[in-house]
Amino acid sequence: MTSANESLQQIVDEIDDTDLSEEALLDRVVELYFLSDGKRADSDTNAFGTVLEQLAYKSTTARRAELANQLALAKDAPTHLMRRLAFDNIIVARPVLQYSDRLSNKDLVTLASKLGQDHLHAIAHRLKLTPPVTDVLVKRGRPPTLTTVAQNSGAKFSPDGLSRLERRAEADSDLAFALGLRPDLHPGMFTRFSNFVKEQLSAEISFGKAATKASGNAAGSAASKQGAAAKPNGDGDPAADQDGETGLEGNASDEAADVVWKGPLQESALANIAREGRLDETLCCLARMTKLEETMARHCLLVADTSALMVLCKANGFASGTFSALLQIREANTLDGPIDKVLMLKRYDAMKPQMAKRIIQFANKKTETDTANAPAENP
C-alpha cells in the first residue's frame, strides 16, 4: 500500500495548489481507491474516506450522486463517508440507503428516525431489514413506504410492528393486500388478510366479467344494427353473424382482462406470484400486464439476456421489487447460474423509463425492417 498512500498524499498536497477542479481531483482519488482494492488496511480506507469526503462536499450534488453509486456496492467503502452520503439529498442517498452494507442496523435506525419519506422509501427496498429498522419504518412511513416494506420478503417485523401495520392497513387496501400475501403473520392476522386478498381478487374477476358482458352486449347490439343496415330483409348468413359476434366477444374479453391486470395492486400480485415460484401464473400475468404474447413473455423472462427483462419491466413502469421477484423466478427456472441481483437492481434503478421505451421502439422498428428486407421464400 506504500505506493497508493504516496499517490494519495500527493493528491492531498495538490488539493490547494493545483489548477484542477475538485471533480477532477475526486475522479483521481476514486480511480486510485478502486485500483488499491484488496490491498488496503482499515487505516488506509479511512484515509481515502477523509479525502473523498473533503472533495465530494466541494463538488456538485450530481457528482456526489455518481460517487454514491460507485461506492454503494463496495464491501469496504469508508464508513463515515457512506453515513454522510446517506444523510444527503435523496438523489445522493438512495443507492447508499438501498444497497450499502456499510450501514449498520444502528445507522439505519438513526437514519429512519430522522430522515424524510423519500429516504424511508429507499430504506424499505433493502434486501434485508431487521425488526428494529422496520419498527421505525412502520411508525413513521406513509403508504408507499408501508406497502413497499410489507411486500419486501427480506423484511422482518416485531409483533408490535406487525400490529401497527395491521392497524394502518384498515384504511389502505394496497397495504392490506400486501400483508395478506406475507407468510410470517400470526394465524389470526393471516386469516383476516388472506380473506381480504381472496375478496379483492374475486371482486376484480367479477368486475372483469361485468366489463366483458357489458362490452359484449354493446358489441352485439352494434353488430346487429350493422347487420340490419347491410341486410334489411333479414337475408344475412347466420354463420357469418356468429363468427362476427365471437370475434367481438374475444376483443371484449381481452379488454376486460386488461382491466383486471392493471395498476399497483395487480403488480403486487405479480410480484408475489413470482416470489412463490409459480412460473405458469407469472408468465400469464406478465404477458397480460406487458401486452405481449405469452411465448414472447417466456422468452424475455427465461431465455433472453437479463437486460432484456430489465428493459421490459422498466418500460412498463414496474417497481424494483417486482423486477427483483422476476429475477428470482428466472434464477430458479434456468441453468444460467446465480444472478447478481444487487448489481441488476442498481442498473434497474439507474435506467430511465423513457430510455427503456426507446430501446423497445428501436427493437420493434429493426424487426420490421429486417422482416421487410428478408428475401422472399421460393414458391
> pLDDT in tens for each of the 379 residues of the chain?
455 555 566 555 555 555 567 788 888 888 888 888 777 777 888 888 888 998 999 899 999 999 999 999 888 899 999 999 999 999 999 999 999 999 999 999 999 999 999 999 999 999 899 999 999 999 999 988 998 998 888 899 999 998 898 888 888 877 877 777 676 766 565 566 555 555 555 554 454 445 445 545 554 554 454 444 444 444 443 333 333 333 323 343 343 334 334 444 477 788 888 888 888 888 888 888 888 888 888 888 998 888 889 889 998 889 888 899 999 999 999 887 888 888 888 888 888 888 788 777 766 665 555 555 555 545 4
- Whether pTM exceeds 0.75: no
Residue whose C-alpha cell reads 403486487 in the numeric block: 268
- How far is 284 from 302, CA to CA, in rounded Å? 14
For residue 89, give every residue at least 6 positions away whose Cβ sits within 8 Å of its Cβ, in sequence order, or none. Answer: 61, 64, 65
For residue 49, give every residue at least 6 positions away whose Cβ sits within 8 Å of its Cβ, in sequence order, or none. Answer: 77, 78, 79, 80, 81
> Angle CA(303)–CA(290)–CA(216) in degrees, nearest 5?
130
Contact 112, 143 (CB under 8 A): no
